[in-house]
Amino acid sequence: MLQLGEFSIISILNDSSAALNVFMENFKKINGAVTPFQLREIFSHLVFININLKDRPIYYSEYVARKKQYFIRTKFPSGIYLEDENERVISIGMLLRNYAEKIMGNIDNKEEILKEIEEERRSYLFNNEGIFLSYNKDGELNEK
């Protein structure tokens, strides 16, 4: 993740767009600017998917001597599947807690909030109905 002022880039370079494909329906729900916490929540989801891919693409180099051509090739898995829940090594909440804590500052109930994040009982991205949470410039939730 790279952040330059209000511009951000998130890139997963080793899964041939698997994380993007899994998260795409959520991306389609985002209909406004995202806050720093929302950006980290998106990043947490993408990292979680990437870490927990059951089968990964395999990249390899090939050189065709007679044509003097070099290729980078990929063998794709038959589908995009995540590890079974009991095989997963980390949760979205654990990742988000790590990323959010770094920008949270000193606030009341910080440990309680971080625990809610880690237990996935607090989201900054979508409400319980899956609707994107839009915030104003002051960080207050826009009422719709």
What does the mean pLDDT of the chain come to? 94
pLDDT digits (tens, 9 = 90+) for 52-69: 999 999 999 999 999 999
pLDDT of residue 144 exceeding 70, the answer is: no
Predicted confidence band of residue 6 (pLDDT cuts 50, 70, 90): confident
pLDDT of residue 12 exceeding 90, the answer is: yes
pLDDT of residue 75 exceeding 80, the answer is: yes
Mean pLDDT, residues 95-123 taken together: 95
pLDDT of residue 24 exceeding 70, the answer is: yes
**Cβ within 8 Å of residue 89, ≥6 positions away:** 51, 52
- pLDDT of the residue at 142: 86
Measured CA distances, 27 to 71, 91, 125 (Å):
32, 20, 10
pLDDT of residue 23 exceeding 90, the answer is: yes
Angle between helices 36-51 and 18-29 (to 10 degrees): 150
Least Cα distance to 122 among 41, 36, 59, 67 occurs for 41
Mean pLDDT, residues 115-136 taken together: 94
Please report, to the nearest 10 degrees, the dihedral formed by the alpha carbons of residues 78, 85, 23, 56 taken in order. Answer: -30
Model's pTM, two decimal places? 0.90
C-alpha 106/C-alpha 40 separation (Å) is: 18
